[in-house]
């Protein structure tokens, strides 16, 4: 009995942040829909990993979350997207961007100012925040991402990884509830990529909902609680990373299992479904 | 054959050399993997191969680079680029044609290939990177990963003896990575000398590079058969690189 009561207690707090209901979207000038009948629910506190081949609809899906579709990209949209219960067609991109922050693949396309602190202030200034509040938030996000030392650095002198962290910082300064990232590590070296993954894990633990489109499953799957696989605009698989990455059908959609998964088959410990080297090692010892 | 003999290079305006006393020899049929963190000198090393250094980038150069016995200082970049094809990290800086097909045919045309030969080379190159169906599209309409593959096709179509590629896997999904791997495998079998600069060691492990060169701050700090270097997991990790998973595992199991 007690268990059931606690369950309902928790259910009260699990809030649906985003509901995508039967969305089909075709870009203007294109004959094929980029998304076909997509249904997805993202709950508060989720860490959702979106994967699939290039052109499978990952970027289009992310653009739905903060209203860039249908407000910015033209095309034909069916179905609806609710963010915090509000239909994105009826909300402005400005108001949605306070709830959902979007980080793009190439930080060079996102960075618009010459100095790191100016960059983080940019969005806040445009929304008319008072100066003290802007300074407070700059300090807060720099600390959160462990990049206090970059505060006064020129943005053009930053490395690729540092630029991506600054792009994330400027999005976080708006204090969104959800941060969505489109292949954030595709241009980064392994060290910087791992740093992005760990930072996202920390943010998620602090309560921010994370949605990340990525090919580097090795790096992100241990942190995610949900995963979807996209192919030709459809969501073709949905579940926990542990469940999905050990599914053979994944290969049909062009998704290759991470090396830990391959190794655990090789060593005959796949029934334990390890996702990290640590888990694989534990499985090997328990054999 | 490309021979790099005791090269130290310092870019104009920089106080520290980008490369220090590098010695290297690449023969036709060799497959060489160069790795190291950002800023370790990988791209500078590539620029040496077709004479971009010292012809295009200014700075102070010691030592010499010989391509087929000719000192690159005495040869033009145009004549060198017939022997050594170079694919840069940011391909979009070089696109200027209206279609993918035209972009790829530019190189063969400027080499004076016959029409037939050129058409064959362009088609082959585009098929290698899976972009044949995109031939009528604008290079600018492609995704980041596709642009990268287009720039690889541009160089493949020139049928050079040597091919050097900077970070081919950036922005590629798993299928494209596999097909690139096959392309490199084939080039190697055909006896071309291939140099690949990458962080993605997991991806290249299958190909068993003949030699792996680990750069750090402009110096070659490790070199040898890839299996040997991948096994020195600690050295790679200290240099910010992630060795292929199976080598990490075998190290951990050994430690246990």
Q: Which residue has the tokens 């694989």?
A: A280
Q: For position B78, what pLDDT does the model report?
A: 87
Residue A157 in contact with partner chain B when CB distance is under 8 A? no
Task: Answer whether B38 sits within 8 Å of A285, measured CB to CB.
Answer: no
pLDDT tens figures, A223-276: 999 999 999 999 999 999 999 999 988 888 989 899 999 999 998 999 999 999
- Any domain includes B117: no
Calculate how close chain A gets to B204, using CA atoms only, in Å. Answer: 13
Full DSSP string of B136-194: TS-GGGS-HHHHHHHHHHHHHTTT-SEEEEE-TTTT--HHHHHHHHHHHHHHHHTT-EE
The β-bridge relationship of strands B2-11 and B59-67 is antiparallel
In the predicted structure, residue B246 carries a pLDDT above the cut 60:
yes
Give me chain B's average pLDDT, please: 89
Task: Give CB contacts under 8 A, 24+ apart, made by A192-197.
Answer: A192/A159, A192/A160, A192/A161, A192/A162, A192/A164, A192/B38, A193/A161, A193/A219, A194/A219, A194/B242, A195/A161, A195/A165, A196/A161, A196/A164, A196/A165, A196/A168, A197/A223
d(CA A211, CA A154): 29
Q: Does B90 contact chain A (CB < 8 Å)?
A: no
pLDDT over threshold 60, residue B244 = yes
Q: Which 8-state DSSP code applies to residue A154?
A: B
CB contact B240 to A (< 8 Å): yes
When scoring A108, A185, A190 by the number of chain B Cβ atoms within 10 A, the one with the most, hence best to mutate, is: A190
Q: Is residue B214 part of a domain?
A: yes
End-to-end CA distance of chain A: 37
> For A31, which DSSP code?
S
**B174 contacts in A (CB within 8 Å)?**
53, 215, 254-256
CATH of the domain at B256: 3.40.50.300
A183–B249 C-beta distance less than 8 A:
no
Query: Which residues are bridge partners to A40 per DSSP?
Result: A20
Q: pLDDT (tens digit, 9 = 90+) per residue, B41-74?
A: 998 999 999 899 999 999 999 999 999 999 999 9
pTM as predicted: 0.86
Q: Smallest Cα–Cα separation from B157: which of B191, B185, B182, B132?
A: B132
Name the 3-class secondary structure at B255: helix
Smallest CA–CA distance from B148 into chain A, residue: A187
B243 has a pLDDT exceeding 60: yes
- In CATH, the number for domain A15-99+176-254 is 3.40.50.300
Distance from CA of A279 to the nearest CA of B (A): 11
Output the pLDDT for position A110.
Answer: 83
Position B6 confidence tier, pLDDT thresholds 50, 70, 90: very high
Q: Match 């190439």 to its residue by tokens.
A: A106
Q: Residue B116 pLDDT > 90, yes or no?
A: yes
Profile chain A (287 residues) by mean pLDDT over runs of 10 residues. 57 73 94 95 96 92 94 94 93 90 86 92 90 95 92 88 92 94 88 90 95 95 96 96 92 89 91 91 84
Per-residue pLDDT, B141: 83
| Candidates A105, A190, A280; nearest CB to B240 | A190
* Neighbour-count burial of B51, counting CB atoms closer than 10 A to its CB (0-12 exposed, 13-18 middle, 19+ buried): buried
pLDDT in tens, B183-229: 998 898 989 999 999 988 888 887 888 889 999 889 998 898 888 88
**How many CB atoms are closer than 10 A to CB A181?**
25
Which chain B residues are closer than 8 Å to A52 by Cβ? Answer: 173
- A99 closest CA partner among A35, A14, A42: A42
- Tell me which chain B residues have a C-beta less than 8 angstroms from the C-beta of A263: 245-246, 249
**What would the two tokens of residue B116 be?**
């037939």
Dig out the tokens for B61 from the structure. 């150069």
Q: What is the DSSP letter of B130?
A: T
Quick check: is B21 in a domain?
A: yes
Sequence ranges of the domains in chain A: 15-99+176-254, 109-175, 257-287
Q: Which residue among B37, B240, B252 places its CB closest to the CB of A277?
A: B252
Averaged over B231-240, what is the pLDDT? Answer: 80
Among candidate residues A193, A259, A107, A281, the one with its CA nearest the CA of residue B241: A193
Instruction: Using an 8 Å CB-CB cutoff, list chain B residues near A277.
Output: 245, 248-249, 252
Length of chain B in residues, anyone? 256
Chain A touched by B38 (CB under 8 Å):
yes
Residue B144 CB neighbours (<10 A): 18
Q: Is B253 in CB contact (< 8 Å) with chain A?
A: yes
Count: domains in chain B: 1
ipTM: 0.78
Share of chain B above pLDDT 90, in %: 50
Residues in chain A: 287
Q: Is the dihedral of CA A214, A218, A219, A220 positive or negative?
A: positive
CB atoms within 10 A of CB B120: 15
Label each residue of A103-150 as H, E or C: ECCCHHHCCCCCEHHHHHHHHHHHCCCCHHHHHHHHHHHHHHCCCHHH
Render pLDDT for B76-102 as a digit per residue (tens, 0 to 9). 988 998 899 999 877 666 788 899 999
Range of the domain at B254: 1-78+208-256
Distance CA A172, CA A102 (A): 10
A54/B145 Cβ within 8 A: yes
Within a 13 Å sphere around the CA of B45, how many CA atoms are in the beta-carbon half?
38
Whole-number pLDDT of residue B148? 87
The pairing of strands B31-35 and B211-216 is: parallel
In a domain, B251, yes or no: yes
Does B240 contact A189 at a Cβ distance shorter than 8 Å? yes
Q: Tens digit of pLDDT for each residue in A89-100?
A: 999 988 898 899
The first and second tokens of residue A67, run together, are 């209203």
Give pLDDT tens digits for B130-149: 899 999 999 988 877 888 89
- Which of A29, A32, A54, A219 to mutate: most B Cβ within 10 Å? A54
Inform me whether the C-beta atom of residue A186 falls under 8 Å from chain B C-beta atoms. yes
Q: Residue A212: in which H helix or E strand, if any? A: strand A209-213
Q: Residue B221: CA atoms inside 13 Å, Cβ hemisphere, count?
A: 16
């Amino acid at each position: 009995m007690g268990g059931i009561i606690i369950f309902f207690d928790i259910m009260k707090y699990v809030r649906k942040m985003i509901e995508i209901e039967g969305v089909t979207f075709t870009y203007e000038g294109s004959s094929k829909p980029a998304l076909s009948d997509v249904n997805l629910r993202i709950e508060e506190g989720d860490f959702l990993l979106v994967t699939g081949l290039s052109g499978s609809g990952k970027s289009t899906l992310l653009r739905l979350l903060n209203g860039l579709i249908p407000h910015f990209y033209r095309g034909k949209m069916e179905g609806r997207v609710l963010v915090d219960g509000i239909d994105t067609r009826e909300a402005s991109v400005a108001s949605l961007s306070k709830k959902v922050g979007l980080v793009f693949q190439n930080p060079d396309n996102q960075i618009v100012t010459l100095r790191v602190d100016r960059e983080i202030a940019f969005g806040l200034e445009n929304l008319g925040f008072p100066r003290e509040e802007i300074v407070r938030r700059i300090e807060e996000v720099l600390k959160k991402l462990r990049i206090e030392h970059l505060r006064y650095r020129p943005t053009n002198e930053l490395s690729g990884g540092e630029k991506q962290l600054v792009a994330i910082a400027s999005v976080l300064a708006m204090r969104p509830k959800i941060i969505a990232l489109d292949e954030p590590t595709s241009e980064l070296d392994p060290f910087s990529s791992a740093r992005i993954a760990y930072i996202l894990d920390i943010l998620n633990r602090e309560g921010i909902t994370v949605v990340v489109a990525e090919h580097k499953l090795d790096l992100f799957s241990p942190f995610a609680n949900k995963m979807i696989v996209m192919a030709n605009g459809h969501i073709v698989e949905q579940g926990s990373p542990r469940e999905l990455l050990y599914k053979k059908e994944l290969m049909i959609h062009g998704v290759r299992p991470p090396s830990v998964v391959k190794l655990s088959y090789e060593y005959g410990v796949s029934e334990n479904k390890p996702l990290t080297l640590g888990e694989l090692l534990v499985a090997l010892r328990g054999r | 054959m490309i021979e790099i003999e005791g090269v130290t290079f310092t870019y104009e305006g920089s106080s520290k050399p980008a490369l220090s006393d590098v010695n290297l020899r690449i023969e036709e049929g060799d497959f060489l993997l160069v790795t190291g963190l950002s800023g370790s000198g990988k791209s500078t090393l590539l620029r040496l191969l077709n004479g971009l250094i010292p012809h295009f980038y200014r700075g102070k150069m010691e030592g010499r680079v010989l391509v087929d016995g000719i000192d690159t200082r005495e040869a033009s970049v145009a004549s060198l680029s017939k022997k050594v094809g170079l694919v840069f990290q940011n391909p979009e800086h070089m696109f200027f044609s209206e279609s993918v097909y035209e972009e790829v045919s530019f190189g063969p045309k400027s080499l004076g290939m016959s029409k037939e030969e050129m058409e064959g080379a362009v088609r082959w190159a585009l098929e290698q990177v899976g972009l044949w169906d995109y031939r009528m599209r604008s290079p600018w309409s492609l995704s980041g990963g596709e642009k990268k593959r287009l720039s690889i096709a541009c160089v493949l179509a020139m049928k050079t003896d040597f091919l050097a590629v900077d970070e081919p896997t950036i922005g590629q999904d798993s299928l494209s990575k596999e097909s690139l791997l096959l392309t490199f495998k084939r080039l190697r079998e055909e006896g071309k000398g291939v140099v690949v600069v990458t962080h993605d060691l997991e991806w290249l492990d299958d190909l068993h590079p003949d030699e792996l060169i680990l750069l750090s701050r402009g110096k070659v700090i490790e070199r040898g058969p890839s299996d040997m270097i991948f096994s020195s997991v600690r050295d790679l990790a200290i240099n910010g690189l992630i060795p292929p998973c199976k080598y990490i595992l075998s190290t951990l199991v050994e430690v246990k």
